[in-house]
Amino acid sequence: MVKTISNSGRWAARARRAKPEGGATTVFKKMTPGLACFIGVVVSAITVPTADAVAKHTVGHAETHGEKHGGGHGGGHAVEHSEKTVKTAVHLTGELSMRSQMISAETLFVALGVDSERRLHVLEDSCAFFERILAGLRRGDESLGLPAVQSPEALAQLDRIEELWYLLYAAVQKGLDAGSMGPEQVDTIASLNLGLLREADRMVELLKEEAARLRFFSMLVKATDLSGRQHTLIRRMAKEFLLIAYGHDAETHRESLVQTYALFERNLNGLIDGDAQMKLLPPPTPEIQSQLQRVEETWRRFLPLMQAATQGRPGPEAVAQVARQVAPLAEEMEEVVHLLEAL
């Protein structure tokens, strides 16, 4: 069981020390005092970049190109490998991890009859953007600022992702064509989604290793990457909850759900407080600190629904509550990513 902590003391203490300096424009001038102290513990191991060293290309920008314009490809033009484009590659490959779980959860919402018409459109857009990222990793995508992967190891990993993706996508597309999702789609999602998630996560690690070799990796990138993984964990929790509600191998998914929300909690605490072992900074600005507070407040409403699902099968009302709450929690977490990327 994840311990539910009291936040009033934690955030009151942070509020007292979160006053930014007047006219500050750099990461260092905007640091909270707690962050400055924390850096003394770990700065010898990892370098914090200057404000303009972190990529400003966000998922929101990518979705504007990829989803609102039908997921069209960027033409396969060569994109130069640089600090910004390598970070973009890490971030968008993390999108594959998140969307593997989002597509799974949306499929299950449709199978359970929750707002099916709208969610079928969301599924179609998410699948199109997933394919666009795959194509960008293979050939490059200039409009996304995404370079093609080059190393034999990364290309082999991309092959593994594509192999699993097209098996999963074939079942989802069949449901999209039919306008409904049934046992075939649920069985396919349940059997393939975690393998697809693991392979996408492995690609993220390969790209992070490349970034580290090129000295393009930092504690801020670590925090940004972990914040993106939190978004993936939110979608994974929803998927596991819905598989329990559907009655598909419920005990296995209950065990997995406990592990997922415990990991989310640990990561969130690390992002809020900093964690030297995880190589995480405390929030580098008061704005990010406040946004993480909003995430935590939303999380405290979401967590009891997950905990209840580990004790029994959720009913229609619980499913409806998760349907209402999962997107706001994901959006609050995604805002943390955007704020970190903008530094």
pLDDT: which is higher, 61 or 54: 61
User: Higher model confidence: residue 84 or residue 62?
Assistant: 84
pLDDT digits (tens, 9 = 90+) for 257-308: 999 999 999 999 999 999 989 988 899 999 999 999 999 999 999 999 999 9
User: Can you give the pLDDT at residue 341?
Assistant: 83
* Residue that wins the pLDDT comparison between 55 and 123: 123
Mean pLDDT value of segment 136-159: 94
Q: Give the predicted TM-score (pTM) of the model.
A: 0.77
Give the chain's mean pLDDT: 82
pLDDT at 229 over 60: yes
Q: What string of H, E and C letters represents the secondary structure of the chain? A: CCCCCCCHHHHHHHHHCCCCCCCCCCCCCCCCHHHHHHHHHHCCCCCCCCHHHCCCCCHHHHHHHHCCCCCCCCCCCCCCCCHHHHHHHHHHHHHHHHHHHHHHHHHHHHHCCCCHHHHHHHHHHHHHHHHHHHHHHHHCECCCCECCCCCHHHHHHHHHHHHHHHHHHHHHHHHHHHCCCCHHHHHHHHHHHHHHHHHHHHHHHHHHHHHHHCCCCCHHHHHHHHHHHHHHHHHHHHHHHHHHHHCCCHHHHHHHHHHHHHHHHHHHHHHHHCECCCCECCCCCHHHHHHHHHHHHHHHHHHHHHHHHCCCCCCHHHHHHHHHHHHHHHHHHHHHHHHHHCC
Residue 117 has pLDDT above 80, yes or no: yes
- pLDDT at position 222, please? 83
Stronger pLDDT, 342 or 322, i.e. the higher one: 322
pLDDT at residue 47 greater than cutoff 50: no
pLDDT value of position 90: 87
Least confident range from 165-174, 177-186, 199-208, 213-222: namely: 213-222
Q: Which domains does the chain have, with CATH numbers?
A: 56-217 (1.20.1420), 219-343 (1.20.120)
Place of tokens 């609050």: 332
- Going by pLDDT thresholds of 50, 70 and 90, the confidence category of residue 322 is very high
* 323 confidence band (pLDDT: 50, 70, 90): very high
Nearest to 91 by CA among 338, 271, 343: 338
Question: pLDDT class for 216, splitting at 50, 70, 90?
Answer: low
Q: How confident is the model at residue 214 (pLDDT cuts 50, 70, 90)?
A: low
**pLDDT confidence of residue 53:** 31
Report the pLDDT value the prediction gives residue 274, as an integer from 0 to 100.
93
